[in-house]
Structure 1
Amino acid sequence: MFKRVIVFLLVTIIIMSTVACGNQTTTAKDGKWKIGIMTNTVSQNEEEYRAAQNVLAKYGEEHIIHMTYPDKFMDEQETTIANAVSMASDPDLKALLFVQAVPGTAAAIDKVREINPDILIIAGVPGEDPKMIAEKADVVFQADEVSMGTTIPEQAKKQGAKVFVHYSFPRHMSYPLLAARRDLMKEKCEEIGLQFVDATAPDPTGDAGTSGAQQFILEDVPRMVEQYGKDTAFFSTNCAMQVPLIKAALDEGAIYPQPCCPSPYHGFPSALGIEIPEDKKGNIDYVVEEIKKRIAEENGTGRFSTWPVPVAMMFIEAGAEYAIQYINGNTEGKVDIPKIQELFKDYAQVDIKTMALEENGVTYDNYQLVLLDFLNF
């Protein structure tokens, strides 16, 4: 009889333990978790690819799945969907990051929700309708492009600028966002006492091509400095113009507050002749130190700046940390803005401002527009 009681108790304990384990919420502390990250290929955007690889190196393949969408993502959206479904099919997947959230992401999220509606989904740099992506993803991150119309002239003023030159062309000025930012820049310049110069450059897609547009910048910046003086700040809306703009501004002793896409990688390494070794790919600190060194050699210290990190890399690496905090139960639900701000600041090491997107009178609290303070070289 005594032995039967002991056996019964042992069996009861085993059953209760099994049930209890089955009912536990899986967290990162249990070791049973995975995060999926979808980025560009290295040929499309190396920064984002490297950021995902940084997360993979930190946490290992047992916790991180990194997949890419196709280079021709506009024509091959079904591949983006299939890759997202592949990751979501892993029963241990607890969060999924899309950076950039290219067209096709919204449809991919729908398919992922069919498999597991509870997965945390983060979409960075969305390429689809804001309202639609805000409704489908749990959290959305995007750089606050419009507010740059205020912050860039203010930064130029701090760097000693008296004149602000804005290079663009009719095609870009037909884009509402770029035109609105230009208008804000003009208003801010008038407010803080900068002379605003609205300069037209050749369109790189026009007859002169990219090389013609770049050559124009190399030749026009010295003319502008001769006319307005060295305390002239330069900005261009076009990515292809950043390298010649940085080079010419440095050669002429002028001011360059920010590339069109704020990042230490955007324009600076090529303009300054910085070769990044293979073992330093994705190493922001290395690139920043090399930029500071080259600019100092040309007596440009204090007159060149950008954001301290590429926002897309921050969205991936800090976004992954946020996902882990969520999995561990350390956030106030899926949308914890103070926690997001804290992790962004830890990553960038500068002040971060975020604000909810407001469109047509509707505020999307989970769609956060992000603005970083400047890194001065």
Structure 2
Amino acid sequence: MKRYILLLLAVILTAGCVSGCGSQATSGKKSSDKAEIYKIGIVTPTLSTSEDEFRAAEKMVKQYPGVVKHITLPENFATEIETGLSQITSLADDPQMKAIIVVSGQAGLLPALQKVEETRPDIITMTAPIWDDPALMSKYVDFNLDTDWVKRGQAIATQAHAMGAKTMIHYSFPTHLAKEVIAQRKDAMQKTCKELGMQWVEVVTPDPQTGNGTGPMLQFLREDIPRQIGKYGPDTNIFGSNCPMYDVIIDEAFKLKYMVAEQCCPTPLQAYPTVLGLEISEADAWNFDKVNGMISKKAAEKGMAGRLGGWPMPATVFMPQYAVELARKMIEDPGFDYKKVDNLNKFAQDTFGCGVSFSKFKAKADGSEFDNYAVMIMDTILY
């Protein structure tokens, strides 16, 4: 009898240990009285192709070991599309896989997600983002995420006006303005400036894509920005549509004291560290609170506090991490209404501590909204 009792206690303790370790490793949702083991697959470009998205996914792997599985698309995706598609669909071979997230920012990946939906409808499929046809994405993918690039035109002009800008200067070049999303963003910015009573100035620079690279464009900015500020004064916000422009735009801002509400790709890592000579270690490069603090300190020292801004973190870092957290929420709380933008906004605030505004993606033809396609902008932070 004594041996029987000891054996029974050992079995109970062993079962308890296995159950506890399993729930900690998987963070699974409740199924009756035990946690369901699940995995989330996330697909990104390689480190050399897109460092932000790759490192964001790797951070999720470290944060949720045994839950998040990260794979990368082929380095030369354009010539190895079939390989990339098969890599995505292979994730569905794992019976514990409950969500697959594809983060790519390129087209051609939808067939893989369509196949997953057909063979494993129990798997949550998500893009964050890909750029296939929005109507088909909404049909074959459970949920799609992206940045609202067009709405940023309105948001930037509104933010600049709140900062005290009386003039908005928009720098771009022909091949950029030929891109629909950039043209629409510019139109939204111009319309908002008119509504707010701000003067609108549009300047066309040398085109780096048809001429001699970025050199002539940057030289033009060095010469033209002082002329424009001399004409319109420092209560001017300058926006450039091309990322390389910002080494000049931010540098001249510290000299001429004009405003830069946001960059074209708003992130604390664009231009600010270079212009300000910030010494950022590899580890601190992903500590955005620390980087933003360093920029704010320099801005205050140079009398530019409140005249420069951006997003607290890059969209290319936020989006993959948000997608993983959202997938976990959807798996563990099936009643969570992920199609309601207020829920998405609150989830971003609760999870990341920053203001994010989601809205439904609208079809270009008739303006109808896709219920399972959400686009977002972040609240601007001022340095």
Q: Which residue of 2 aligns with 1:268?
A: 272
Confirm whether residue 163 of structure 1 aligns to residue 167 of structure 2: yes
- Aligned to 1:278, the other structure's residue is in SS state coil
The aligned runs of 1:31-110 (5 Å cut-off) are 32-60=37-65, 62-110=66-114
Q: CA deviation at 1:115?
A: 3.9
Confirm whether residue 366 of structure 1 aligns to residue 372 of structure 2: yes
Distance (whole Å) between structure 2 residues aligned to residue 325 and residue 172 of structure 1: 38
Confirm whether residue 305 of structure 1 aligns to residue 309 of structure 2: yes
Q: CA deviation at 1:70?
A: 2.7
Aligned length: 352
Q: CA deviation at 1:334?
A: 6.3
Distance (whole Å) between structure 2 residues aligned to residue 92 and residue 334 of structure 1: 22
The gaps in structure 2 that reach 5 residues or longer are 1-26
Q: Which residue of 1 aligns with 2:14?
A: none
Q: CA deviation at 1:75?
A: 2.6
Is contact 2:117-2:140 (8 Å) kept? no
The two structures have a TM-score, normalised by structure 2, of 0.86
Give 1:124's match in structure 2, choosing from 112, 125, 128.
Answer: 128
Q: What letter matches 1:366 in structure 2?
A: N
**Structure 1 residues 116 and 281, CA, compared in 2 at 3 Å: closer, same or farther?**
farther
Give 2:231's match in structure 1, choosing from 223, 227, 237.
Answer: 227
Is contact 1:109-1:137 (8 Å) kept? yes
Is contact 1:69-1:83 (8 Å) kept? yes
Q: CA deviation at 1:368?
A: 0.7
Is contact 1:231-1:255 (8 Å) kept? yes
CA distances 1:12-32 after superposition (whole Å, capped 9, x unpaired): xxxxxxxxxxxxxx9445261
Q: CA RMSD in A?
A: 2.1
Give 1:180's match in structure 2, choosing from 184, 209, 216.
Answer: 184
Q: Which residue of 2 aligns with 1:13?
A: none
* Ranges of 4+ aligned residues in structure 1 off by more than 3 Å: 26-29, 330-339
Q: What letter matches 1:56 in structure 2?
A: V
Distance (whole Å) between structure 2 residues aligned to residue 175 and residue 369 of structure 1: 19
- Aligned to 1:233, the other structure's residue is in SS state strand
Q: What letter matches 2:278 in structure 1?
A: I
**Structure 1 residues 304 and 71, CA, compared in 2 at 3 Å: closer, same or farther?**
farther
Q: Which residue of 2 aligns with 1:147?
A: 151
The two structures have a TM-score, normalised by structure 1, of 0.87
Q: What letter matches 1:371 in structure 2?
A: I
Q: What letter matches 1:65 in structure 2?
A: K
Q: What letter matches 2:289 in structure 1?
A: D
**Structure 1 residues 366 and 78, CA, compared in 2 at 3 Å: closer, same or farther?**
same
User: Could you tell me the percent identity over the aligned residues?
Assistant: 32
- Aligned to 1:188, the other structure's residue is in SS state helix
Distance (whole Å) between structure 1 residues aligned to residue 213 and residue 75 of structure 2: 23
**Structure 1 residues 200 and 146, CA, compared in 2 at 3 Å: closer, same or farther?**
same
Distance (whole Å) between structure 1 residues aligned to residue 269 and residue 131 of structure 2: 22
**Structure 1 residues 54 and 299, CA, compared in 2 at 3 Å: closer, same or farther?**
same
Distance (whole Å) between structure 1 residues aligned to residue 219 and residue 36 of structure 2: 55
- Aligned to 1:74, the other structure's residue is in SS state helix
Give 2:212's match in structure 1, choosing from 208, 211, 216.
Answer: 208
Is contact 1:138-1:334 (8 Å) kept? no
Distance (whole Å) between structure 2 residues aligned to residue 220 and residue 330 of structure 1: 56
Distance (whole Å) between structure 2 residues aligned to residue 310 and residue 51 of structure 1: 10
Distance (whole Å) between structure 1 residues aligned to residue 76 and residue 300 of structure 2: 40
The gaps in structure 1 that reach 5 residues or longer are 1-25
- Aligned to 1:95, the other structure's residue is in SS state strand
